[in-house]
Each structure stands twice: as structure tokens, then as C-alpha cells.
Amino acid sequence: MSDRRRRDDREEAPWVPRTKLGKMVQEGKMTSLDEIFQLGLKLREPEIVKTLVPDLKSEVVSVGIVQKQTDAGELTRFGAVVAVGNGNGFFGVGKGKAAQMKSAIDKATNDALLNVIPVQIGCGSWECRCGTKHSVPYRIVGKAGSVRVELLPAPRSLGTVAGPALANLLALAGIKDVWARTFGSTDTLSSLANAVYDAFSKSRGLNV
């Protein structure tokens, strides 16, 4: 059997939970991420999120070459940052390194799944007050590296007033209308993604 065939077989192998929470999810005793977060349980298997949120989408934020000097010479690997979200209140960011680009992206994706958090979505705009979940419920700020992101409630149908990269990240979380301001080296997309994650984690909680 070829190496490629063996890799395909491993990828298609059924999930065998390694943790008590994983077994509960597979057996249908735990049916939502909201319930997991309410109980304060830790996500230790990416398959838990894949099972409970099958419509989760991922976006490669950045991929670069990471070089490290070792006794045997210079070691070159790929470093990737990936963001995940279901467009309805869940968001995560992860990173991964590997000798192959695809492996680095896969590792980053699994890391992002383990880092998924609930995002508060509401209507915090005094201009709107519609009571639906379309914006942030209040001003939130996040920082990562030299990047600072500020998100302000916006009225319904305004859209995301932000650059394309930031708008894509907010869409993954389910934010449809928002005023966004950024400061620092926003061209560093990994820092931008982590600043958004930091903002959401500070207001972490179930949707309101």
C-alpha cells in the first residue's frame, strides 16, 4: 500500500475519543458547546467541536517560513495561523508549525478548534435598539503584539466598517454590523487575528 493511501486511511479513520468529555459527546450525552462552556469544561479534542458545530468554517490568516539554527544546521519549517468560526457566535484562533505547509495549516486548525470561545452578539447601538443579534453589545477592545482592535456597536444593516482582513474575521464570529478601529502594525495578520480573539475573550460569555 502506498504512503498516500495509508495517509488517506488515517484521515478517514473514525474518531475514538480519548477524554471523558469526548466520550460524552460521541454518546450524545453532551449536545452543545454552550453546555460545555456553562459547565466550565476544557476542550481537549478538536473532534468535539467538529461534532457539535459541523458548520464551522476555517480561514488561513497567514502562512510563513520559520527558520531555526540548530547544531545540524538551519532548520526550515512552515508556521501557520488559522481562524475558525460558525458565523453565529463561536470563534477561535490557532497556530501550528510543521515541515510541510499543509501539516502546519492542519495543526493550526486543530489548535484553533481547541481555542474556540463563545462570542457575545447583541444590539448595543443606541441608534438601533432592535434587540436582535447582529453587532457587539458594547464597546470591546483587544490587543496582540503591536496591534490594538476596538469594536463599537453599530445599527442594523450598516455592515462591517473595517478593512477586508478584519471584516472576514468578524464575519467568522457572526458580527454583521460594527464600527471597527485598528491601531499598530495591522499588516501583521496573525497579530490582528489574535487581537480580535483577545477582544472576544474579554467579553466571553453566552450570546446575549
In the prediction, which pLDDT does 68 show?
Answer: 76
In the prediction, which pLDDT does 11 show?
Answer: 56
d(CA 61, CA 165): 8
Give the β-pairing of 178-183 and 117-118. Answer: unpaired
The angle that helices 164-173 and 189-202 make with each other, rounded to 10 degrees, is: 40
d(CA 168, CA 176): 10
Dmax over CA atoms of the chain, in Å, equals 64
Give the β-pairing of 160-161 and 90-98. Answer: unpaired
Tell me, which fold does domain 18-117 have in CATH? Answer: Double Stranded RNA Binding Domain (3.30.160)
pTM: 0.88
* Distance from chain centroid for Cα 104: 16
List the chain residues with pLDDT less than 70.
1-12, 72, 204-208
In the prediction, which pLDDT does 208 show?
Answer: 36
Q: Are 137 and 122 in contact (CB under 8 A)?
A: yes
What is the enclosing helix (H) or strand (E) of 12? Answer: helix 3-12
Residue 152 CA: distances (Å) to CA of 115, 121, 137, 199: 24, 12, 8, 11
In the prediction, which pLDDT does 81 show?
Answer: 98
pLDDT tens readout for residues 26-82:
999 999 999 999 999 999 999 999 999 999 999 999 999 987 777 767 788 999 999
Residues 6+ apart with CB under 8 A from 200: 91, 117, 119, 120, 140, 142, 173
Residue 4 burial by CB count (10 A; 0-12/13-18/19+): exposed, middle or buried?
exposed
- List the chain domain ranges: 18-117
Q: How many CB atoms lie within 10 A of CB 39?
A: 9
